[in-house]
Structure 1
Amino acid sequence: MPFSFDGLASTSISCVEMHTSGEPTRIILSGFPELTGTLMEQRALAKANFDQYRRFLMLEPRGHRDMYGAILRPETELVKSGEADFGVLFMHNDGFSTMCGHATIAIGRFLVDCDDEQIFPRRKMLKYDTGTETTSIKLHVPCGVVDVDVPTLPIGKSDPCRPISFIAVPSFVTGISVMVHLPEENRWPELGVRDSITADFCYGGAYYCVINATELGFPQGLSEDYIQRLSHATALLKKTVNETSELSYLTRHIQTAEQGILYSVLIVDDTKLDNDPSSSEKGLCFFANQQIDRSPTGGSVAARISLAYAKGNLSIGEQRKFDSLFTGSDKGLRGFVGSAIEELKNEGEADGSRKSVCVRVKVQGYANYMGYSTFVAEAADGLGVNGFLL
């Protein structure tokens, strides 16, 4: 390194920079304070005592409103018991999320390539399948354990030419064609005279509202030209769902009854839907504090596959392609592929009247390296480590 920060910086954090279909993952290698306990206890500790490190890395001037990050956790209770190989915490512009598909794909590739035992002590214990030429990783994330398969070359490194896949936690529907009444203060101009919308709700490690662009009030479909208007509408919709007690069942886990919150609104461009099985479903995901996912959103793929299966529009083993507003052959970015691989019987009810099932969903996508970075904060820097959000 031609320049040293020794003696200048009070804080120094090193990261690997990756992207999955254009969506960044900033993976912290060193510099984050020590976290102990179970994975959820580590998450709570990070939120309560070290949130300034999230702001330091995710917000400006080192990040931006749509930056995404991962804190590597080599020791968790499930790693110790042998149920997982590695753990991870996810973070974004507003806090720490329970699941992230695009980051899972990136981290899977990184862990296969990592030969530093201080970062990944159990790297040599990973299982390699000679038939599929893939390495398997059980990744402990806040919502459970996801099984990641990473294509691997004979030299032991990941193969960037083949897609990485993960099997999500059990995914399910909590409501189909739910009518959401919008109080006057939560309506947006594109609604016109309407005071309600109809949408679907599902879970893929986090809770998603899936709504068509035309139903949201945008008959022309999705466009980068009016992203701010789309953001305004989805923010008000999410606010309504999270603040309406009668709708709390939409974010309640059908297996554990644990209460969650609506994490994201996924707009499907129904003006682009067709019956060609080779075509992709295009969508735009707003999550956290109106953060925009450049990728098709891995968690939402799991949720949308469960939705399509519950509606009878998808069979076990059948694949469906997903693009975001920013991916596609014309953009040079490949989207995701999802499929339901197994139905799990469940006694819960999705919407108070209809029996629901969980499915295990396989999500496939590509992740690429962008670089290596070391971020510092000088003691004399008035901005400190807090960052800011524009």
Structure 2
Amino acid sequence: MITVRTVDYHTAGEPFRIVDCAPSGMPPVPGDTVAERCATVIGPGGSGTAPRRGALDDVRRLLVQEPRGHAGMYGGFVVPADDDGAHFGVLFWHKDGYSTACGHGAMALGVWAVDTGRVAAPDDGDAPVRIDVPSGRVTATVHRGAGRTTGVTFRNVPALVGARKVPVATSFGLAEVDIAHAGACYAAVRARDLGLDVSRAALPALVRAGQEIRAALATHPATWHPGGPLLSGVYGVILHEELPDTPFGPHQRNVTVFADGQIDRSPCGSGTSARLALLAEDGRLGPGEDLLHESVTGTVFTGRMLEGGVTEVTGTAHRTGEHAFVVDPHDALGTGFLL
């Protein structure tokens, strides 16, 4: 009987399933850095959305697939940091494979690190949790008040605008797509340009549009990142719409379609970073201004630009459960299935 223990959180509605590899007895992942370990689990000839089979990837499949997970599940394997400058590292995973960035996951991990005592935190004040991810080192600063966690701010790697108004033909019409890198590559398009709105009712059409745009940009040079192939290629498509500005800056609603048609229930942490870079280049987000970024579920992140393309995104993360998943050796379903 195989047992895998997890601690689950949600960040603004998006799930994050945490496996602390060392105490869980998970197979070790070769590599000197988190980026190298990510390449190892993807495997030679594999990709972020089509990894090769392996011992640790079987654990990913077990936790994300039914009957123990679902197509919208997200999570991470906690692994050693690159060096003593970070508290730990993480390999992010989803139903199709692995990602180089995950803002909502970093936020959940920050709160988890404080909740478990892995990182000391005051009753009142802030506790920075430094995390090595495949795209670099990020920080989740956990905000505390009266002995409890009140919020968390994710500081991402620098965001980089790749291209503007790239024409993409879809079954909904021609889209003008903006491309930005923020730990992962995102393509952003106005939903109304495709005759869509960002709503739950429109989700099937939004997902189809996102999949078409991602496929159309598969070989576009603007999706290439200077850091190499691991950071290149469109990971998510952000379909967004304008809402009335707040006194503090722009207000938008979005749905991020990532990997092979997965929907982010949150406003998307690293996707928010990408939007911030594009809005700043447009002159719509100045110093001291915030983006109020809303998800299709109505949850909210607040984002701001700092110097040098660095972004910060603030939200909340809460624990939802602790689990001991088992695999009976006589269970014909094995690691499960996806519908």
Same fold? TM cut 0.5: yes
Selected match of 2:178 from 166, 188, 200: 200
Selected match of 1:230 from 206, 216, 223: 206
In the aligned structure 2, how far is the partner of 1:154 from the partner of 1:324?
Answer: 29
- Contact map agreement 1:59 1:93 (CA 8 A) in 2: yes
Identity %: 32
SS at match of 1:305: helix
Structure 2 stretches lacking a partner, 5+ long: 44-53
- What is the root-mean-square deviation in Å for CA atoms of aligned residues? 2.0
> Residue by residue, what CA displacement relative to the aligned partner does 1:65-123 show, whole Å, maximum 9, x if unpaired?
110011111x23x23xx2222111100011010000111111001111223xxxx5xx4
- Contact map agreement 2:19 2:77 (CA 8 A) in 1: yes
Aligned ranges 1:274-289 → 2 under 5 Å: 274-277=244-247, 280-289=251-260
Structure 1 stretches lacking a partner, 5+ long: 1-8, 328-333, 345-358
Partner of 1:68: 74
AA aligned to 2:37 is: Q
Partner of 1:134: 126
Selected match of 2:294 from 323, 328, 331: 323
1:337 aligns with 2:329: no
Partner of 1:216: 194
SS at match of 1:269: strand
- Contact map agreement 2:159 2:311 (CA 8 A) in 1: yes
SS at match of 2:333: coil
Partner of 1:22: 13
Partner of 1:252: 224
- Contact map agreement 1:200 1:211 (CA 8 A) in 2: yes
More strand per residue: 2
Partner of 1:170: 158
Partner of 1:383: 333
In the aligned structure 1, how far is the partner of 2:238 from the partner of 2:97?
Answer: 19
TM-score by length of 2: 0.89
AA aligned to 1:42 is: R
- Contact map agreement 1:14 1:31 (CA 8 A) in 2: no
Distance 1:275 1:226, change over 3 A: closer
Q: Which has the larger radius of gyration?
A: 1
Distance 1:222 1:166, change over 3 A: closer
Partner of 2:48: none
> Residue by residue, what CA displacement relative to the aligned partner does 1:275-302 show, whole Å, maximum 9, x if unpaired?
4446731011100111000000000111
Shift of 1:203: 1.4
TM-score by length of 1: 0.78
- Contact map agreement 2:31 2:40 (CA 8 A) in 1: no
AA aligned to 1:378 is: D
Partner of 2:233: 261
> Residue by residue, what CA displacement relative to the aligned partner does 1:174-194 show, whole Å, maximum 9, x if unpaired?
1122222x3xxxx42x33xxx
Partner of 1:6: none
In the aligned structure 1, how far is the partner of 2:266 from the partner of 2:244?
Answer: 21
Partner of 1:37: 31
In the aligned structure 2, how far is the partner of 1:206 from the partner of 1:311?
Answer: 21
1:306 aligns with 2:277: yes
Give the count of matched residue pairs: 322
Partner of 1:85: 87
In the aligned structure 1, how far is the partner of 2:35 from the partner of 2:237?
Answer: 25
Partner of 1:5: none
